[in-house]
Amino acid sequence: MGHPVPPREVRRRRRAPADQLDRHPLGREDRHPMSTHRLELLPAVDVRDGQAVRLVHGESGTETSYGDPLEAALTWQRAGAEWLHLVDLDAAFGTGDNRERIAEVVRAMDIKVELSGGIRDDETLAAALATGCTRVNLGTAALESPEWVAKVIAEHGDKIAVGLDVRGTTLRGRGWTRDGGDLYETLARLDSEGCARYVVTDIAKDGTLQGPNLELLRNVCAATDRPVVASGGVSSLDDLRALAGLVPEGVEGAIVGKALYAKAFTLEEALEAVSR
Ligand SMILES: O=C(O)c1ccccc1N[C@@H]1O[C@H](COP(=O)(O)O)[C@@H](O)[C@H]1O
């Protein structure tokens, strides 16, 4: 099946950076300052009902439980993780929250934490930042409250990332249950507002161990000069090597969930695979 064609304006902008990179006054590597770096890995801990869980396609009711989220996070930290991707799934779905557990996990971490789920207004943002996390990841708010998101990007800079959770090229919010507009139009708006980075999830791949959507990631990287964290589908060390191959295009990191919990490989093996 063919992929939806992005609007003409987006196609023009997506081609231009790739064509012009070698002529860019700063050169290819300064445009993507991380491009000489190795791929960052962010093991995921998603919390629902106080438990670490993995979902399939992000669908409520598909949970497999992996026990205590603090234990999971400490396991990834002990294995050498530099980042933790921590999600309050109840807050994302609107079925409550796991604030205390989440704050406990962040407090216990010596590593950087990217925190997401239910951060949609001043109160939830303040609570998230008060945990001491390194940055937050906004999903629904970027679709439903664009003015508020522009304001917090201006106030907090690179402590704010935006999660672009997509089916095809349509963004999804509210626990990935509602359409929220076009990926490339939203990306252009957020770029113009100074958004520091994007976490791009292909919902069709998430939790499926089917491999990441490399084409989507390439297209997003061509449409923005901001770093992209890839999410969804990682199943093997080869998938991680393929994502590492996209670092020069702007992929900065990869979130790894199900593959680690299903023991497809260890985090130590994953870190080793992307270190060369
Ligand atoms: O991570 C998931 O599996 C997931 C599944 C369903 C909904 C959200 C999910 N994850 C994270 O939640 C934020 C969005 O939360 P919100 O819309 O800002 O409340 C998204 O960035 C994902 O990281």
Ligand 1 contact via 233 beta carbon (within 6 Å): no
Confidence of residue 35 (pLDDT cuts 50, 70, 90): low
**Known active-site residue 19:** no
The structure's pTM equals 0.89
User: Which residue is listed with tokens 């000069």?
Assistant: 225
Tokens of 194: 């100074």
Tokens of 222: 């061509």
Nearest CA to 174 among 267, 240, 91, 271? Answer: 91
Interatomic CA distance for residues 13 and 146, integer angstroms: 22
Best of 53, 59, 174, 176 for a ligand 1 pocket test (most atoms within 8 Å of beta carbon) = 176
Best of 89, 98, 102, 149 for a ligand 1 pocket test (most atoms within 8 Å of beta carbon) = 89
The 10s digit of each residue's pLDDT in 192-218 is: 999 999 999 999 998 899 999 999 999
ipTM of the modeled complex: 0.94
Which residue type sits at 241?
Answer: R
How many CA atoms does the CB half-sphere of 88 hold within 13 Å?
A: 30
The 10s digit of each residue's pLDDT in 211-265 is: 999 999 999 999 999 999 999 999 999 999 999 999 999 999 999 999 999 999 9
Of ligand 1's listed atoms, the one at least distance from the Cα of 92 is: 19
Q: Which pairs with CB-CB distance under 8 Å and at least 24 residues apart come from 1-9?
A: 3/168, 3/169, 3/215, 4/168, 4/169, 6/169, 6/184, 6/219, 6/223, 7/182, 7/184, 7/185, 9/188
